[in-house]
Chain A
């Protein structure tokens, strides 16, 4: 596969390490009332879609960016690649 890195352009997927669902960005608040349940869901429950999937890839053999790659799990078509940091900010993770 080829991942179109937002900074470095098209790179071979061999340069990357795969983590999984980009939902891992949404780490719960430890002080929430039901924090334990939220962390349980966060850590153990995943969707397994046949189709579009937002997932985390780490450019380990490159610039060490974490990326959010939107990939069709059926066709492997890559629809979007974003810096995970930008995604995290957009999802309200700025302190």
Chain B
């Protein structure tokens, strides 16, 4: 926990020994605050160097340096400054860092300042001060809500080539560097009794109460400083300042081993069953992550109970030209002054509809900032000390180039007054942060007394809400709600505790009169500054009948993008309600969905990037194959040798042809470990396989292997392989590489769900055995050198389709199968995986006198096509046993998965597709997989389609290209010449229909 405290970066002004006297160090720097004054940090913005302090954000440091202009708006490229002091910021988006670490659209309000920080403004050219695209602003009448839909309708072809590229270039936010991110991101899992979301007075009090009771507690806050609004206000807690109380609470929490304090951690979503997603920014506040540390961690937090203590967000009031840099939220202005010792300008005015705005005026005045006026919409506004009050007044316009210079005020008596101010602090009231309560099914309810939505409906399982997030805005209410909420949550878990004595704190009532926008003025009053949505846009949407709030959002883009309308949604729907003549609760809110704030792709990916994107599985002979210079190919997660180039070979075909010919002429060896292997044992093993395979297995003798075809329940061919019977109650089943996991899953389904009382057990042994195919006329001679002499593997003793348990190399346990995929005399020999490497070396050594070659997946593929064996291309999810020429294999005498529906009429048409072979009439023509088959004459069309070629290869045995595929009534069309067409490439060749068994059609070789 000590680390957590250190990381929290809590540095009160008392702690650094200075007086906090810093006024004027930067142009708008004040005294006091919670920044560390001992050492100035250097940073750059748009290439210009500035100074700030530890504890600053980029936004506070820029304001301190008199920089109000921080960005350009999305659509109109209007100059914009910072609006808020938190994660809800719509305007001050920057590109942080550069190169591979460049991060676009980062809110300057949450970017923690560090020495050497580099930030650039975005969405402007050539510079923030002179933005060429600001011309968009002149055409604003043309770019209103729905302009995409209205303007770019015609001609349709222009959209992709002309409109979209232009819009994409003109509009948009930050850019990325296209360089690889050098940093690591991690994922982690945490468990707790109580998760406290937010570390303001509510959250801290809850964590203290639960921690003292001995519960496992996690308290997370997106800020690097715990305390929430206590850092931004001048309120005391008990006899301490707010900040000092926070420090004390944090120290107590840090000393509890059962409490985990997580600053810089945003809870991004509330998921099912008490699971929360959290992003911890471990290294975003330093120049580069420390060695071995990730930049960010994505946590999955399993909580028994959770308390949302996320506070509230202030909302603005819309009026003409309210987007000028310098117009800010009143609570933010107060936070900059109290926490960061910064004023946005030396003269500030306040525009408010509630008492909270008056606090800003009072705090600024106390800090020596000139407050030129407090403009309060309420005629009965409370008195103000030290500034002029305009009660019942409204701001109707502002002026100033690239920043606010003065505000025009309509006074209660109807006259206007121009109030000079470099900053205007606006407060329209506060919205509880209900977002996480809506991530499941919660729908907020309207509370008239505070003029805001509060959590309601079905909250995420075991979540409670307390403090400002629940509409309890005073510090005293927050402390009380935190303590009582923790007691209630723990009580549900069987931990009884008491709230204890709470410190005294301010308990001011909420005093707000709803006021959403100033009606006066013809210009634009901005609601959503991030998306450039105005009051007029909302009116237009309403006029055009987009009246549901969800439609309003999509038509106007109100509430979209990085801030998700945290400061703008409320205004939009209040205006919508007014236009529709409805009450606000009748209009309702749009859905809040995770994430709460933007999340980087990096942390979502975690370590699953590049080669680590998924596991890489290597075959037991991988190391040996590497030594041979093999070329590898990805087959699912596996890396398999594709071919083994020899010196002098310049083209892969040379290697593959050699491997094929040498195997067919002498002997070749291939690692076939990747095929799925499933051990099936039990009294009912044979009966079980009868259910799984379309063909019969009950009568397979011990010591024999049989080819097996599996169907899906709909009758389509699913997978094929072999089943070897080692004992009455023991089979070893193989599957294709691709389906190894799925076949096992389906077999378990059949075992547990369909035939629950069969005496049969399954286990996947794919990784347990290294298996090699040894194929070719010299295969037996080679194996006889490896297999221990007491095992007779002569043709008589160990015929085709035999299997047995043997030993090799003087006692090593092994399994031998006499099966052939290549069509040659062939065996597959399996040894425990740890002997796989030794086995390949042994086999190659024994094969030296025969010129044995290793062969890869390409030669494997060529040989199976030459032999007409079906593989993935043929078992492609649309073909039946009938199509594959195995219709007779499907037993009608027994029940098996798929046999009933395989008898459907549609799957048994007379002209059904049949697997056959194709040879080019002109031997030089290449046969292409994917080519469609057409009759010798007639048009080429889907209607005349006769089938398609599934697999093709150059056959070094036949000296020409060959293919196999599906042809209508193919089995009765041998000798016919038809066309194989590839309209995509404009190719067409003549092919002769032949048997798919190009090599050794009688199967003499494999029985020899």
Contacts and interface: CB of A to CB of B under 8 A. Distances in A.
B903 A36 contact: yes
Nearest to B461: A77
A2 B753 contact: no
Given A19-B749, A93-B756, A39 B900 contact: yes
Contacts of A2: 272-275, 302
Interface in B740-768: 741, 745, 748-749, 752-758
Most buried by B among A65, A66, A74: A66
Interface string A63-95: 011100000001111100001111111000111
B752 A66 contact: yes
Most buried by A among B461, B741, B901: B901
A58 B748 contact: yes
A36 B756 contact: no
Contacts of A1: 271-273, 275
Given A1-B272, A2-B302, A85 B900 contact: no
B900 A30 contact: yes
A75 B749 CA distance: 27
A65 B753 CA distance: 10
Contacts of B753: 24-25, 56, 66, 84-85, 87-88, 93
Contacts of A17: 745
A94 B757 CA distance: 5
Interface in B561-590: none
A19 B754 CA distance: 14
A93 B754 contact: yes
A77 B901 CA distance: 36
Contacts of A87: 753
B713 A39 contact: yes
Most buried by A among B461, B713, B752: B752
A35 B714 CA distance: 13
Interface string A3-24: 0000000000000010100001
B164 interface: no
B265 interface: no
Given A2-B273, A30-B895, A43-B714, A88 B752 contact: yes
Interface string B297-321: 0000010000000000000000000
Interface residues of B, number: 29
Contacts of A65: 752
Q: Do most interface residues of chain A lie in helix, strand or loop, or is the interface mixed? A: mixed
Nearest to B713: A43
A76 B273 contact: yes
A30 B903 CA distance: 12
A84 B752 contact: yes
Given A36-B903, A43-B901, A88 B275 contact: no
B904 interface: yes
A30 B753 CA distance: 16
Contacts of B273: 1-2, 76, 78
Contacts of A40: 901
B272 A66 contact: no
Contacts of A88: 752-754, 756
Contact of A60 (B274, B745, B901): B745
Contacts of A28: 900
B302 A36 contact: no
B945 interface: no
Contact of B758 (A30, A74, A95): A95
Contact of A64 (B458, B461, B748, B755): B748
B139 to A, nearest CB: 47
A46 interface: no
A44 to B, nearest CB: 8
B899 interface: yes
B834 interface: no
Contacts of A74: 441
A66 B757 contact: no
A5 to B, nearest CB: 14
B67 to A, nearest CB: 46
A90 to B, nearest CB: 10
A36 B749 contact: no
A89 B758 CA distance: 11
Nearest to A4: B273
Contacts of A24: 749, 753
A11 B895 CA distance: 36
Contacts of A86: 756
Contacts of B458: 75
Contacts of A58: 745, 748-749
Given A43-B713, A43-B901, A85-B756, A75 B748 contact: no
B757 A89 contact: yes
Contacts of B904: 36
A25 B754 contact: yes
26 contacts: A1-B273, A19-B749, A25-B754, A30-B899, A30-B900, A31-B895, A36-B900, A36-B901, A36-B903, A39-B713, A56-B749, A58-B749, A60-B745, A75-B441, A76-B272, A76-B273, A77-B461, A83-B752, A85-B753, A88-B752, A88-B753, A89-B756, A93-B755, A93-B757, A94-B756, A94-B757
Lowest 7 CB-CB distances: which A-B pairs, in order? Answer: A30-B895, A88-B756, A94-B757, A2-B273, A1-B272, A66-B752, A76-B272
Interface of B: 271-275, 302, 440-441, 458, 461, 713-714, 741, 745, 748-749, 752-758, 895, 899-901, 903-904
Given A56-B749, A64-B748, A93-B753, 10 more contacts: A30-B900, A39-B900, A43-B901, A66-B748, A75-B441, A78-B273, A87-B753, A88-B752, A88-B753, A89-B756
